[in-house]
Amino acid sequence: MSRWVLHVDLDQFQAAVEVRRHPELAGLPIIVGGNGDPTEPRKVVTCASYPAREFGVHAGMALRTAARKCPDATFLPLDTAAYDEASEEVMSLLRDFGHPVEVWGWDEAYLGAEVDDPVELAERIRTVIAAETGLSCSVGISDNKQRAKVATGFGKPAGVFMLTDENWMAVMGDRPVDALWGVGPKTAKKLAGMGITTVADLAATDATTLTSAFGPTTGLWILLLAKGGGDTNVSAEPWVPRSRSHVVTFPRDLTDRGEMTTAVTELAQRALAEVVAQDRIVTRVAVTLRTNTFYTRTKIRKLDEPSTDQAVITAAALRVFELFEFDRPVRLLGVRLELAPPPGGY
């Protein structure tokens, strides 16, 4: 038997959960985000159903823009409790197959399996999830996580696709470098400046050229990705958060420092409440600030000693906040609390 990595990705997850409890919405354009109010400023689409995507709506788009593109869509608020519950249903079913399962979020997980026929396993996974939960998923199959993740995109929606050494370059060679999972716009732009625009171009590039441009770690990693390589390990260990964070985008740009201070305090306290509930302890505090020109910076400082004392954490967040220069109105603020490893480690 060969060892395979299967990437299981739930299709249009949040929208599908909404359809499950509101069957009358099946087949209609659905947009999930914010409080479900398309006129609400600075709120974005979290998930668009496939019918909504046909109008050009996609995740990350402003709700107001989505409403202009698809005025007849049903707009719904985020319901994190419902998505948590649905996700856990799916992950429990995946674990019941008896293979290691590594959860990567609400709607995706990796499964490592030593089987003769991974396609048969993938189809069983699809069938069981659909029958037990009413949700559909797509499954990508390969021998590593990165290639399996890419394969899932070709299987969507509700399908199965396999990428291996045999078909990797035939499928991916002519595609742009940012079709690789892990190669973002900045890296793609830099590669384009070097005359490297396709996956095949990147795979054929000399390693020394890439390490000179990107450093030894990144250079060799993106070369490995282009050749279809990646991480083969699927861990069945429970996912342990390394940080907790909260972010707020304001309905209007802030210029008053007092309002900003209040926001930072509230964000720090909300994040800390989650840390305390999980019996964890804070080691570092970070604050993110985005101006009305979308200039974004994050500053971080280590605590003198690990703590969960609200006064200590709040004071630390405010000290970090004061490190910024306030020369433009502020659009967004965020606080992230980094945590000490749990007793068993990560």
Instruction: Rounding to the nearest 10 degrees, give the CA dihedral for residues 27, 28, 31, 32.
Output: -60
- Please state the domain extents for the chain: 2-13+81-162, 17-78, 168-226, 243-339
pLDDT tens digits in sequence order for the chain, 346 residues long: 689 999 999 999 999 999 999 999 999 999 999 999 999 888 999 999 999 999 999 999 999 999 999 999 999 999 988 999 999 999 999 999 989 999 998 999 999 999 999 999 999 999 999 989 999 999 999 999 999 999 999 999 999 999 999 999 999 999 999 999 989 999 999 999 999 999 999 999 999 999 999 999 999 999 999 999 999 999 887 767 788 888 888 989 999 999 999 999 999 999 999 899 989 999 999 999 999 988 889 999 999 999 999 999 999 999 999 999 999 999 989 999 999 988 766 6
3-state secondary structure of 180: coil
How far is it, in rounded angstroms, from Cα 206 to Cα 228? 16
85 is an active site residue: no
Cis, peptide link before residue 23, omega less than 30° from 0: no
Architecture of domain 2-13+81-162: 2-Layer Sandwich (3.30)
Confidence (pLDDT) at 342: 82
**What does the pLDDT look like over 211-246, one tens digit per residue?**
999 999 999 999 999 999 999 999 887 767 788 888
**DSSP readout, 197-260?**
-BHHHHHTS-HHHHHHHH-HHHHHHHHHHHTT--------SPP--SEEEEEEEEEEEE--HHHH
Instruction: Match domain 17-78 to its CATH number in 3.40.1170.60, 3.90.1150.10, 3.40.50.720, 3.40.640.10.
Output: 3.40.1170.60
pTM of the model: 0.77
In CATH, the number for domain 243-339 is 3.30.1490.100
β-partners of residue 112 are 5
Work out the burial of residue 338: count CB atoms within 10 Å of its CB; fewer than 13 is exposed, 13-18 middle, 19 or more buried: middle
The active-site residue, picked from 40, 54, 102, 108, is 108
With respect to CATH, is domain 168-226 assigned 1.10.150.20?
yes
